[in-house]
Structure 1
Amino acid sequence: MKGSHCLICNEEIEAILSWNTLFGKEEKEPKICGECNENFERITGEVCEICGRPFAFLKAEYRVENLCFDCKRWEEDVHWSGSLDQNRALYRYTDFAKDVMAKFKFRGDYVLAEVFAEGLCQALQSFQYDYIVPIPLSEERLHERGFNQAEALITTAGFKPTNMLSRVHTEKQSKKSRSERIDLQQVFKFDTDQNLNSKTILLIDDIYTTGSTLRHAAKILKENGAAKVYSFTLAR
């Protein structure tokens, strides 16, 4: 039996004979090979209560009870305290994950959304929400990339995105220092007539770095009535 090809490394995926295939039941074909799958480091164990950072890779001095030091600083800032209720992520942002994300985001490889669809689908079942909202790109970024990677992740995983925010064009986040990201003026506009009173929103983005982007989005959603704002990212 011949398998399909891995969407990441393009190596042939060996077809595995199972009881389901013997009895003629269809099984989903894997999108990536076993080696690439193992190269993703899933986040497990104890994590920061807010941002989902794994404590196993954090020095003790950067942890304060159930929070990492970064989240403690965000929560001590009156402007940002309570803006984002919780973030969770699938994978650690390792070199391998970084390379795959770069292909997905910057080289326009839309099909890579399929790599994450099953993991995203399973993970989102543990969230309760009214709307699932992709972090938007500015028109310039959308033109550069050809698609919004957050929206691609949502639709490929079988969910329906609700666009509520638009983005003011700014310099790329990746070019900014941590303090510049934190001190940014609001980068989003609330772009819908929907009533968010007492609603719970789940934001989707590809990577959690400083948490600035997600907190900007969460803050404006709460200013427009949202009761809770959670977020989910592929990598942390």
Structure 2
Amino acid sequence: MDQVICLICLKEYIEELSFRTYFSQEPIMCDDCSRKFNYEQVRRCSHCNKKLLPDEESCIDCLFMKELFLPLDDIICLYDYDDWTRQLIYKYKFRKDIVLAEVFARFFKPHIKRLDYDMVIPLPSSSEKIHERGFDHMAEVVKRTGITFQTPLKTKHRAKQAGLTKVERLKDSNPFYIEGEIAKRVLLIDDIYTTGLTVHRAAEVLRNENVTEVKVLTFARV
């Protein structure tokens, strides 16, 4: 048995040695923390994974996005954006607990490996955000998966988007632009899927560079 420290709650716990654990990756979180990640089995949009309201036959968010953008080829969301994931993401992004990149990477890695794509691109932060935080939060996560990725997609600095409605967000111009070569099939990696506007704008810029397929993998769905 090995005594290890959970990267989330920082408590020491015992990892019992078994055939399964002997051949698995080094443990980084305790069972109590790992069980708190949730993806509620309720009626959802088959495309964007949004929880549908009782009277919502067709997803209003998807109908809204289709009026403005070509649909994304696939949207995969790992967990719900509940109090647990919100606090974890906040601790990582705003309290700058960079060690938590290992936790997010551990969840992302098997999903990235099973998907088909030509290029993995972490959704970028602006140079101002990177300077303020000290690291590019999504690039740091993907780097820790050990999977090859590129960063030709860039973004200009913009005001904080949290709390804004779709209409308010639409008033801003598209902040994304390309520097470098782009493959035909792209997998975008992001932390939170809220209205979907951010990733649709990123996909719009990619498709202007003749990208034929854009998939999105996000950690949490609001």
- TM-score under structure 2 normalisation? 0.91
1:137-167 CA distance string (max 9 Å, x none): 1111111111111111111111122111111
Worse overlay, 117-126 or 217-226: 117-126
- The residue type paired with residue 154 of structure 1 is V
Question: Aligned partners of 1:62 and 1:38: how far apart in 2?
Answer: 30
Question: Aligned partners of 1:116 and 1:145: how far apart in 2?
Answer: 17
Structure with bigger RCO (C-alpha 8 Å, 6+ apart): 2
3-state SS, counterpart of residue 214 of structure 2 = strand
Residue number in structure 1 paired with 2:99: 111
Worse overlay, 40-49 or 2-11: 40-49
Residue number in structure 2 paired with 1:19: 19
**For 2:157, which of 160, 169, 180 is the aligned residue?**
169
Residue number in structure 2 paired with 1:211: 196
Aligned-pair CA distance for 1:105: 0.8
Aligned-pair CA distance for 1:43: 5.8
**For 1:42, which of 4, 14, 39 is the aligned residue?**
39
Runs of 4+ with >4 A deviation: 43-47
1:188 aligns with 2:176: yes
Unaligned runs of 5+ in 1: none
Aligned-pair CA distance for 1:81: 3.2
1:198-226 CA distance string (max 9 Å, x none): x1100111111111110110000001100
Residue number in structure 2 paired with 1:126: 114
1:201 aligns with 2:192: no
1:156 aligns with 2:144: yes
What RMSD in Å do the two structures reach over aligned CA positions?
Answer: 1.9
- The residue type paired with residue 216 of structure 2 is S
Checking the alignment, whether the CA contact within 8 Å between 1:5 and 1:32 is kept in structure 2 is: yes
Give the strand-richer structure, 1 or 2. 2
Question: Aligned partners of 1:60 and 1:151: how far apart in 2?
Answer: 38
3-state SS, counterpart of residue 13 of structure 2 = coil
**Match runs of 1:57-68 below 5 Å:** 57-64=51-58, 68=59
**For 1:233, which of 214, 218, 221 is the aligned residue?**
218
The 1:20/1:36 distance shift into structure 2, 3 A limit, reads closer
3-state SS, counterpart of residue 124 of structure 2 = coil
Residue number in structure 2 paired with 1:7: 7
Worse overlay, 43-52 or 6-15: 43-52
Question: Aligned partners of 1:20 and 1:195: how far apart in 2?
Answer: 40
Give aligned-pair identity as a percent.
34
Residue number in structure 2 paired with 1:135: 123
Checking the alignment, whether the CA contact within 8 Å between 1:140 and 1:169 is kept in structure 2 is: yes
